[in-house]
């Protein structure tokens, strides 16, 4: 599982011109799910996202988490995070999980993050052509890959 986590002042997602998800301060998370991903990847990544301390404290240091600032999450599924670009100029997406595997894991991630935050996570529409807008605060962007979880 790969995640691109952006600290935002606000973020939103539209599908067919209709707003489907929006947040104020928090994280806009792009989530890529691969065929080899499972429940342990989901748990590890959810814990990391929910507790990531990248919001400023009273001294301007990145010491606060979503819990501390009552921040929110906009979670967007994005299979293109699994792109392989080693050969040629056209990315390969063979590592990306097929929808029958990816959708349940995505929905489980929504539920897990909601439970960890104690409030609902805003979402896009799985598999849809989405228009995502955000104001990256900082900018702060963190990339996490569960394949690296053992390489502290």
Q: Which of 83, 88, 85, 100 has the alpha carbon at shortest distance from 32?
A: 83
* Residue 95 CB partners (closer than 8 Å, separation 6+): 34, 35, 36, 82, 84
The whole-angstrom separation of Cα 39 and Cα 54 is: 25
Q: Which of 6, 27, 55, 78 is catalytic?
A: 78
DSSP single-letter state for residue 34? B
Q: Which of 80, 84, 93, 146 is catalytic?
A: 80
Q: Which of 27, 55, 79, 146 is catalytic?
A: 79
CA dihedral over 96, 100, 103, 108, signed as positive or negative: negative
Query: Could you tell me the end-to-end alpha-carbon distance of the chain, in angstroms, rounded to an integer?
Result: 16
- Known active-site residue 78: yes
What tokens appear for 98 in the block?
């097929």
- Known active-site residue 79: yes
Q: Indicate which residues carry an active-site annotation.
A: 78-80
């Amino acid at each position: 599982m790969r995640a691109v986590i952006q600290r935002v002042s606000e973020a939103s997602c539209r599908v067919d011109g209709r707003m489907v998800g929006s947040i104020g301060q928090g994280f806009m998370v792009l989530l890529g799910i691969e065929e080899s991903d499972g429940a342990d990847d989901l748990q590890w990544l959810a814990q990391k996202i929910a507790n990531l301390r990248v919001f400023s404290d009273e001294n301007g240091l990145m010491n606060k988490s979503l819990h501390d600032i009552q921040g929110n999450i906009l979670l967007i599924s994005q299979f293109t995070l699994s792109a392989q670009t080693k050969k040629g100029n056209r990315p390969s997406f063979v590592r990306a999980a097929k929808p029958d595997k990816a959708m349940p894991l995505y929905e489980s991630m929504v539920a897990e993050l909601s439970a960890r935050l104690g409030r609902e996570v805003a979402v896009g529409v799985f598999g849809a052509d989405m228009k995502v807008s955000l104001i990256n605060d900082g900018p702060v962007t963190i990339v996490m890959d569960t394949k690296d979880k053992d390489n502290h």
